[in-house]
Structure 1
Amino acid sequence: MKPVEVFQGDSPIVLGLPHTGTYVPDAIMANLNPRGRRLDDTDWHIHKLYNGVLAGASTVRATFHRYVIDANRDPVGVSLYPGQNTTGLVPLTDFDGTDIWIDPPDEAAVKARQDAFHTPYHAALQAELERVRDLHGIAILYDCHSIRSGIPFLFDGTLPDFNIGTNMGDTCAPEIEAATQEVCAKAEGYTSIANGRFKGGWTTRHYGHPKKGMHAIQMELAQSTYLTTEASPWTYDKDKAARLRPYLTEILKKLAALAPTLKGTS
């Protein structure tokens, strides 16, 4: 299986999908313990949720699971959130802090996974962002994520429904963050926050360089917004999704409309 799937659109928007993949090579799956084989920390059905929400949007999707290697982590292993619980380039635990390996991969195994999965994903994402920027003079990476709304190991309390991350405004023009916040704030029945527990992962921080015409924003959705329950079998709830998708469309349409006004700005 190819490590990455790319759809090239004609919009200034590129949807990044680093955590929806469930492919685990047999040899790696055999070394996951029963807890790890559940693949609980998948961004379940996010590619389905976003499918068709914006005509012309490009998509770059990792097909491999984050337990193989996490496409949204620094390849040299620097923590996204120093001093807070998180998972690394190859997670040793799940989001609940429970071990997932029979024998954790050694340094050589991690390097092999990086070469086979992490590097190709980011090469494809970089190429697509550059193609889109060449077309429009600007590219906006919208990194699509989801997570359970209650995970005590990672955060206290209940996560808001929409979690916007721009690394405190560093990764995109302020108009992009403001437009996203505006839609989320008025979304009836939903809660939202910008740069709360999730401030944008490595992907957002790595590609978000507004002065170079590259803008990046992360959206971490609470899985309660579109799953029947936040537990196995992780069922996609068509009614919840139908209610949520118009807001995602509105966000992306606003960002696409903003793109021409941001060319040449920093």
Structure 2
Amino acid sequence: MEIFRLDQGNAPLLISLPHDGSHIPEDIAARMHPAARRSRDTDWHVARLYAPLAQALGASLLHPVASRYVVDLNRPADGHALYPGRRETGLVSTIGFDGEPLYRESEPDAAEVQRRVNEFWRPYHTALQQELARLRGLHGRVVLWEGHSIRSRVPMLFDGRLPDLNLGTADGASCSPALQQRLEALLDGQDRFDFVVNGRFKGGYITRQYGRPDEGVDAVQLEMTQCNYMDEDSFEWDEAKAAVLRQAIAPLLGACVA
């Protein structure tokens, strides 16, 4: 099966959407609970949301086909926890964001986890590394934008309602201070969406691993609440809401290119 899709541009910006995929291979789905087969915790429609913005800027866009339930591309390949001491889903998770089990039988063993890493995780990260290197070769400096979305309320992960826009830079370690300041100013200058910087979502493995501002790679993660562009229960896309959200995201991406 196709592992990922890469639309190459020539601007100094790579938009990575590691949780956009929702496909679960049949041999895996057959062992899962019916509810899990819907891949409920997908970052639904983020490629659809970002594609027009990437095309307008000439940015590259990378996203997988398989669900995060197959393997989480935003976790380290050794399965190390991103948030030690907190409950979270893992590299090959056996629970969803609701805390319920994904598998009704035969949870993945160590050999199967490694197979999924080899088949799905490594190709995506190889493509990401190669595209960053290509764009950095063209411009000398590149921004890696990690696009994510999540339901506005996930009790297992946080209390209450998540802010609309959650910008993460690993507490300032993954991008230059100047870029973070520009992005914060743009967020502060709009009044449609509430936001937080380096709150509950500071940036996952990809942001932390590839953000090397001293080496010419700035990495930024934006976690958005899904209620602002879709229906969270039915997963149905809402074009009117999405158009408004794009108006808020476009200046942020433009600042990265600039």
Q: Which residue of 1 aligns with 2:89?
A: 87
Shift, 1:163, TM fit: 0.3
Normalised to the residue count of structure 1, the TM-score between the two structures is 0.94
Question: Which runs of 5 or more structure 1 residues have no equivalent in the other structure?
Answer: 258-266
Q: Which residue of 2 aligns with 1:250?
A: 251
Shift, 1:155, TM fit: 0.2
Contact 2:24 2:37 in 1 (8 A): no
Q: Which residue of 2 aligns with 1:217?
A: 220
Normalised to the residue count of structure 2, the TM-score between the two structures is 0.97
Aligned Cα RMSD in Å? 0.9
Q: Which residue of 1 aligns with 2:194?
A: 191
Deviations 1:46-74 (A, max 9, x none): 00011121420001111110000000001
Deviations 1:208-230 (A, max 9, x none): 01111111000000111111x21
Q: Which residue of 2 aligns with 1:156?
A: 159
Partner SS state of residue 143, structure 1: strand
Amino acid at match of 2:15: L
Q: Which residue of 2 aligns with 1:101?
A: 103
Partner SS state of residue 111, structure 1: helix
Shift, 1:105, TM fit: 0.4
Contact 2:51 2:61 in 1 (8 A): no
Q: Which residue of 1 aligns with 2:123?
A: 120
Q: Which residue of 2 aligns with 1:66?
A: 68
Partner Cα separation in structure 1 for residue 90 and residue 216 of structure 2: 29
Partner Cα separation in structure 1 for residue 6 and residue 245 of structure 2: 24
Contact 2:228 2:241 in 1 (8 A): yes
Q: Which residue of 1 aligns with 2:145?
A: 142
Partner SS state of residue 52, structure 2: coil
Deviations 1:84-103 (A, max 9, x none): 11110011100011101122
Partner SS state of residue 79, structure 2: coil
Partner SS state of residue 100, structure 1: coil
Partner Cα separation in structure 2 for residue 225 and residue 175 of structure 1: 28
Deviations 1:23-66 (A, max 9, x none): 21110111111221121100000000111214200011111100
Q: Which residue of 2 aligns with 1:23?
A: 23
Amino acid at match of 2:240: D
Partner Cα separation in structure 1 for residue 78 and residue 23 of structure 2: 23
Aligned length: 255
Amino acid at match of 2:27: A
Q: Percent identity?
A: 42
Partner Cα separation in structure 1 for residue 185 and residue 111 of structure 2: 46
Q: Which residue of 2 aligns with 1:200?
A: 203
Instruction: Map residues 228-247 of structure 1 onto 2, 5 A cutoff.
Output: 229-231=231-233, 233-247=234-248
Q: Which runs of 4+ in 1 moved over 6 A?
A: none
Partner SS state of residue 6, structure 1: strand
Deviations 1:206-253 (A, max 9, x none): 1001111111000000111111x211x201111111111011111111
Partner Cα separation in structure 2 for residue 85 and residue 181 of structure 1: 29
Partner Cα separation in structure 2 for residue 155 and residue 58 of structure 1: 32
Q: Which residue of 2 aligns with 1:263?
A: none
Tell me if 1:56 matches 2:46: no
Partner Cα separation in structure 2 for residue 31 and residue 128 of structure 1: 35
